[in-house]
A = this chain, B = another copy of it.
Amino acid sequence: MKNTLKVQRAIKNLTQAELAEKAGVTRQTINYIEIGKYIPTTVLSLKLAKVLGKPVEELFILEKGD
């Protein structure tokens, strides 16, 4: 699964730390998700979608292997 977090963050002009705070997780969690090391739970992806103003499907995209 790939994601567009970096771009969406840029659009909203948010740092990883700021996004983390708004989503209620740590900065490292956001960093790892952005890099693809972690797959977030659905609760977290819904929160990120809410904060970033985009549907989950625009933030996270399934890939071949998934």
A47 CB contacts on chain B under 8 angstroms: 62, 66
The number of chain A residues with a CB under 8 A from chain B is: 19
**How many copies of this kind of chain does the complex include?**
2
Decide yes or no whether A39 CB sits under 8 A from chain B.
yes
A38-56 Cβ-contact flags toward B at 8 Å (1 or 0): 0111111111011000011
Q: 16 pairs across A/B with beta carbons < 8 Å?
A: A1-B43, A39-B41, A40-B41, A41-B42, A42-B60, A43-B62, A45-B56, A46-B57, A46-B60, A46-B61, A46-B62, A47-B66, A55-B55, A55-B56, A55-B57, A56-B57
Q: Given contact pairs A46-B61, A47-B66, enumerate 7 new A-B contacts (beta carbons under 8 Å).
A: A1-B46, A41-B41, A43-B62, A43-B66, A45-B45, A49-B56, A56-B56
